[in-house]
Structure 1
Amino acid sequence: MDYAEKRKLILKGDMAKVILTLSVPLMINNLIQTIYNLTDTFFVSRLGDIEVNAVGFVWPIIFFMMSIAVGLSISGTALISQYTGANDHEQAKVVAGQIISFSFISSTVLGILGFFTTPFIVSIMGAEGELFNYSVDFLRIILLGLPTMFIFFAFKAIKQGQGDTYTPMVLVAFSVALNIILDPIFIFVFNLGVSGAAIATVLARGILALYAMYILFTKDDGIKLNKCHLKVKKYWLKKIILVGLPSSIGQSTASLGFAVLNVFVKSFGSATLTAFIIGNRINSLILMPAMGIGSALATIVGQNLGKDNILRARKAVKTSAALATIFLIIGGSIVFITAPQIINLFTNSKDVISQATFYLRVISASLPLMGIFQIFNGTFQGSGHTIMAMLIMGSRLWVFRIPLILIFKNFTNLGEKSVWFAMILSNASVCLIGFILYLSRKWENKIIKKEFS
């Protein structure tokens, strides 16, 4: 399906078909990305526990950098989808070029600064001895390769804004396959250890980024760029930052919130922490359809707002919520029934099985709340009102979940169940906030206008 047909489908086609057409590649992409993250861990685990710990130890720093890239990509998707809906190809090209240039410049600066400050950062985090050395080696290479990560995020944002979620999925699959091939070569054949894993990842991403740029500069599928589009313009730089910064803040504060949450969960004992980790891994798989629908909704909302088709944008939100709920009820029902058997695949500890089973069954019954959260998040991001998305992302953990755990832990006899009930109540509370923001209709105001190039 070419650009024109995809735009027509998004603006006029059957809504359920539109959502599924865009969201299925995103679901597959999320699954592939999970494999990508596991690849390094799998091969590094053959080196030893310290090496595996080093890769996991520096992950919060990498995730923080990713949150900046995600903010830029969300900004790009919102602006490009609205200009695409408005049939303003020139402005869409300008935004695409600016996203690429700003992504490259910011990632290069961050990468260089990170390279020289890595020993200090890792030391502050508390690493010593071999853990310190391996962590520094791995993180330095990953940070130098930040432009490859940021460039692909920019490409994905541009294509998604146009309604093309298939091409990024194919490229990510190719990159994962390449990483699987390169990892053992650099780790074992060249005997580079942890550094080899980082080099393989950067090379796989680099080849992916180069081909992505080749597509944008040679293929005329709605957006075909040339050098003039890459010239940085102050006006667009400011606009991209204003839209993208709240998303970056939301992502990074959520990441920090989960890190703090782990500390509180651990206070209930190692069995509770293990049950929490296993349960979350299973939940993340069940949530993939809702996450994919939420991401697809951002494009659909953006293009229809750009076309001034507010009623259709509302219909997209309602249909997405219904589809996400159906998927999660089915997935949650399966998990509720088979929870003990699923947990048995990950552990033999009776205590962990008992706690994780209770957790999964409680959470699976409330999974539709997480689906609604993803829908509101996609709505606010696609409309470009990213402050609303930041509010629901940040408040879920910092305003509701963490305080509720503290209250339940200190003023009730719930014990480790404090965590599970706090999760349900925090999800319900943030959905209520999202619904209030949705009813305000402020998200229906598009963020584009006839602007200069």
Structure 2
Amino acid sequence: MTYSRTNQSFITVSLFLRRMAKDRVEEFLKNPKRALLVLATPIIVSMIVQTLYSIVDTAFVGRLGTEALAALTFTFPPFLVLIALTSGLGAGMSSRISRSLGARHKTSAENAAMHGLFISLILAVIVLIIGLPILEPFFTLLGATEAIAKLATDYMKIILFGALFMFPAQAIASIFSAEGDTRTPTKVSVSSLVLNIILDPIFIYVLGLGVKGAAIATVISFLASLLLSVYFVIKKSYLHIHLSSFSFSPRITRDIIDVGAPAGLMILLMSLYTSFISRLMAHFGTVYVASYGIASRVEHIAVMPVVAFSIAAMILTAMFLGAREYNALKVVSDYSIRVMFVFTLLMAALFFLMPVLFLRIFTQELELLSLGAAYLRVSAFSLPPFAIGMMVSRIMQGLGYGLPGLVVTVARLIIIAMPLMYFAIFVLGYSYLAIPAAMVISGVVSAGIALVWLRAEFRESVASD
């Protein structure tokens, strides 16, 4: 009797989840424009919380002294590698799963989810094995002193073990996003970040663990994120995530990697690009580096909604492609690009007209405000073409093409912007404002390439149906 009732309850829940997922796809199809906002809003909230956490975490570690803060700064490149790997895998998983769900192929979506989880664990183990022995030599190579290199190594060793929790947690977040549920991963993200903020002062100061304490607090938050993710995926996910759902498929693996690898490389390229600009700014003096730093933080205000909308557009594009709803796909593509272009154009106008108002959020020093304002007035107009490039890259990922976004990014950063900046400063002798000017030029050219490529790929996707 008990087994019968339990089995009946399980069937009822399964049917409810199946109907819920189907209703979600139908709801998105009825109003694709609203669906973009529904999916993007939780992502924006999550990004705001992460930004606040970054500020708080830096403040806690900064109170330990200059060496501790410098050590944390040196850990940024390897930490970015972890972010690139998880973000790339997440893009590949979301694209593949959403296309399967759009086509009503639930079993295939579940298998893709399991593939992603296994890949996340394999990547975490590889990162741990390769990373541990090379950390200290790497930090020394970057220019860290012996004391700072040791602090940075102590921090990152703990974080690398935490990757065993971080990677699968991010993979599960991608499963929810692929289903059209961005609220659940946002709840998990916000909860883990709040926990980290609470634990930071306890481990850093109360227990006297210093920089190691900050790393331990972060790893505990990774573990909490994984446990919450597992709980929600069992309780709320439409997909049945279990070993029985897994059947190794080279095609699914290739689909995830084809989108994920270029997406991850794009993030690494952005890191290289940012480091390159910092080195160019250092040519003019430390105050110029600082002015670039605060101007970049201001630009991040406009970038967050673009990133959120691009992720939402990728999910809907993949889902509608799988469902062969090409009209809805075109609506999402055109509308998302147009809205983000107008939004960044308005933000560019505000940054141009009132740069000091925004810069004062981060500094009150007059020299920094003056240099930062001049920089921001030029760089602001790189935002609209950046938005177009970002939206097109994500939409391409939704279509199952990861390479176009990478090619456009390489063209924008490596082929056009970086050589142009170097030539303008060291050959022509221009001021630091040549850097944002090169950003605008490279952004406009690459945005044009991206739009032409998107139209061609869209026609091909429809024609191949």
Q: What TM-score results when the alignment is normalised by the length of structure 2?
A: 0.90
**Offset at residue 9 of structure 1 (A):** 2.2
Counterpart of 2:32 in structure 1 is 15
Counterpart of 1:51 in structure 2 is 68
Note the alpha carbon deviations across 1:68-101, whole angstroms, 9 max, x for none: 1211111101101101111111100000011011
2:247 and 2:69 map into 1 onto residues whose CA distance is: 42
What amino acid sits opposite 1:384 in the alignment? Answer: G
Which residue, out of 339, 343, 348, partners 1:332?
A: 348
Note the alpha carbon deviations across 1:240-295, whole angstroms, 9 max, x for none: 22332222222222222221222122223223222211111000012211221111
Which residue, out of 93, 102, 114, partners 1:76?
A: 93
**Offset at residue 307 of structure 1 (A):** 1.1
2:44 and 2:127 map into 1 onto residues whose CA distance is: 30
Correspondences of 1:164-175 after superposition (within 5 Å): 164-175=181-192
Counterpart of 1:104 in structure 2 is 121
Note the alpha carbon deviations across 1:95-138, whole angstroms, 9 max, x for none: 00110111012202211331233223223323223201111100
Q: What is the number of residues matched between the two proteins?
A: 446
Counterpart of 2:421 in structure 1 is 405
Which residue, out of 317, 323, 326, partners 2:339?
A: 323
What amino acid sits opposite 1:244 in the alignment? Answer: G
Q: Give the stretch that moved more between structures: 403-412 or 195-204.
A: 403-412
**Offset at residue 346 of structure 1 (A):** 3.0
1:414 and 1:124 map into 2 onto residues whose CA distance is: 31
Counterpart of 1:67 in structure 2 is 84
Which residue, out of 240, 260, 280, partners 1:264?
A: 280
Which residue, out of 356, 369, 386, partners 2:372?
A: 356
Counterpart of 2:132 in structure 1 is 115
1:365 and 1:240 map into 2 onto residues whose CA distance is: 34
1:210 and 1:317 map into 2 onto residues whose CA distance is: 35
Q: Does structure 2 conserve the Cα–Cα contact (< 8 Å) formed by 1:385 and 1:443?
A: no
Counterpart of 2:404 in structure 1 is 388
Correspondences of 1:121-136 after superposition (within 5 Å): 121-136=138-153
Q: Does structure 1 conserve the Cα–Cα contact (< 8 Å) formed by 2:282 and 2:289?
A: yes
Q: Is 1:32–2:52 an aligned residue pair?
A: no
Counterpart of 2:244 in structure 1 is 228
Which residue, out of 190, 196, 221, partners 2:207?
A: 190
Q: What TM-score results when the alignment is normalised by the length of structure 1?
A: 0.93
Cα RMSD of the aligned pairs, angstroms, is 2.2
What amino acid sits opposite 1:111 in the alignment? Answer: L
Q: Does structure 1 conserve the Cα–Cα contact (< 8 Å) formed by 2:140 and 2:146?
A: no
2:105 and 2:270 map into 1 onto residues whose CA distance is: 35
Note the alpha carbon deviations across 1:326-348, whole angstroms, 9 max, x for none: 32233333333321233234334
Counterpart of 2:21 in structure 1 is 3
2:36 and 2:45 map into 1 onto residues whose CA distance is: 14
2:144 and 2:246 map into 1 onto residues whose CA distance is: 41
What amino acid sits opposite 1:206 in the alignment? Answer: L
**Offset at residue 173 of structure 1 (A):** 0.7
1:49 and 1:231 map into 2 onto residues whose CA distance is: 52
Note the alpha carbon deviations across 1:332-366, whole angstroms, 9 max, x for none: 33333321233234334433222211222223344
Correspondences of 1:298-309 after superposition (within 5 Å): 298-309=314-325
Q: Does structure 1 conserve the Cα–Cα contact (< 8 Å) formed by 2:88 and 2:263?
A: yes
Counterpart of 2:8 in structure 1 is none
**Offset at residue 422 of structure 1 (A):** 0.5
Correspondences of 1:410-429 after superposition (within 5 Å): 410-412=426-428, 414-429=430-445
1:291 and 1:358 map into 2 onto residues whose CA distance is: 26
Q: Is 1:139–2:156 an aligned residue pair?
A: yes
Q: Does structure 1 conserve the Cα–Cα contact (< 8 Å) formed by 2:84 and 2:264?
A: yes
Q: Does structure 2 conserve the Cα–Cα contact (< 8 Å) formed by 1:258 and 1:397?
A: no
Q: Give the stretch that moved more between structures: 172-181 or 411-420.
A: 411-420
Distance 1:347-1:370 versus aligned 2 partners, 3 A rule: same
Counterpart of 1:246 in structure 2 is 262
What amino acid sits opposite 2:266 in the alignment? Answer: G
Distance 1:121-1:341 versus aligned 2 partners, 3 A rule: same
**Offset at residue 190 of structure 1 (A):** 1.3
2:452 and 2:380 map into 1 onto residues whose CA distance is: 25
Counterpart of 2:198 in structure 1 is 181
Match of 1:341, SS state, is helix
What amino acid sits opposite 2:442 in the alignment? Answer: S
Q: Does structure 1 conserve the Cα–Cα contact (< 8 Å) formed by 2:277 and 2:435?
A: no
1:412 and 1:310 map into 2 onto residues whose CA distance is: 49
- Unpaired runs of 5+ residues, structure 2, are 1-16
2:259 and 2:439 map into 1 onto residues whose CA distance is: 29
**Offset at residue 385 of structure 1 (A):** 0.3
What amino acid sits opposite 2:24 in the alignment? Answer: K
Which residue, out of 334, 349, 368, partners 2:384?
A: 368
Q: Give the stretch that moved more between structures: 220-229 or 50-59.
A: 220-229
**Offset at residue 233 of structure 1 (A):** 5.0
Q: Give the stretch that moved more between structures: 82-91 or 432-441.
A: 432-441
1:58 and 1:209 map into 2 onto residues whose CA distance is: 23
Note the alpha carbon deviations across 1:306-325, whole angstroms, 9 max, x for none: 11122321221111022212
Counterpart of 1:310 in structure 2 is 326
Q: Does structure 2 conserve the Cα–Cα contact (< 8 Å) formed by 1:3 and 1:221?
A: no
Distance 1:106-1:366 versus aligned 2 partners, 3 A rule: closer
Distance 1:443-1:300 versus aligned 2 partners, 3 A rule: farther
What amino acid sits opposite 1:30 in the alignment? Answer: M
What amino acid sits opposite 2:156 in the alignment? Answer: L
What amino acid sits opposite 2:396 in the alignment? Answer: F
What amino acid sits opposite 2:152 in the alignment? Answer: S
